[in-house]
Structure 1
Amino acid sequence: MKERVIEGNSGFSICTRRGFLTGATSLAAMAATATGAVAAPGKNRELDDNLILLLADCHVAAGGGTGSFAYRRLQYCIDSALGLEKIPHRALVFGDIAGTVGPKEDYALSATLFRRLEDAGVEVSYMMGNHDRR
C-alpha cells in the first residue's frame, strides 16, 4: 500500500496512522504537562510520575542509518520528551521497533536512542509487534 505523505511546518512528514502516532507522541507529552520544553535534556531532570511516554511503530531499520526518516522521527520524539521541564517516569514502546522483520542490527540502532531515556532515569518497557522477531 502506498503511503500518502503530508508535509508539516516542522519539516517532518506525517503519514498514515503509524506516522501520526509516532510523530504526535511528543505533542501529547507536552500537552499532558502544559510546561513546554526547556534546553539541555539530561539525567538531572525531575521525573513526573503522572507522565508516560508512549511510542509505537518506530520501524527503525539499520539499512537507513541515523539519517533515515524513521530514526530521525524517533530521535525527535525522544528529544522532545527529554526536553520537558519534568520528564516521563516511564516509556512504553508498543512494538514494531524493527524496520521490517527484526534483524539484530535494527534493534542495535534503535537502542542508541532508547538508551538515552534509560540514562535519564526513565523506565522503558518494550512490547513485541508483528515486525519484531527477537
Structure 2
Amino acid sequence: MRRSKQKRKTAETDIEIILNLDGSGSADIDTGIAIFDHMLTSLTRHGRLDLKVSAKGDLEVDEHHTIEDVGIVFGTALEKALGNKRGITRFGEATIPMDEALAQVALDLGGRSYLTLNARFMSQKVGDFPTQMTGHFF
C-alpha cells in the first residue's frame, strides 16, 4: 500500500500528515486556515487520496510558516508514499476550469523540484489565505 506518515516540528509549527495514495477521497484537514483546509480537501477528493493533516502554527504572527511547512511535509509524504515509483507515469499534464479560474499544470515526478507559477490574483487574500503564499506551498 502506498502510504506515508510524516511529521515536522519547528519553533513555529508542528505538522503531521498521513497520506494514502490508494484512498477514496477521505479528508481530515485542520491547518487553522479555513480556505487552505478547503483547498487541501478538494485536492483529496479530486485526487481520490486519503489525507489527514494536523497543523499547529504561529497564526497569531501570520500564515506563512504554517502554509510553507504543510507544503514541505506534504511533499515529503508524497515522495515517501510513491516509494520506488514503479507503475506510475513520470509525466502528466492537465487543464482544469474551476470556478473563475483556468488552471494548467504540467507535472514531472522525476525527483528534481522546480516551480513556475504564472498567476494573477484579484486580491491579496482569498478568505484567510494570502495569495502570495501559493508559490510557497507548491
Give the TM-score of the pair, scaled to structure 2.
0.28
What TM-score do the two structures reach when normalised by structure 1? 0.29
Structure number having the greater strand percentage: 2
- Say which one has the larger Rg: 2
In proportion to residue count, which structure has more helix? 1
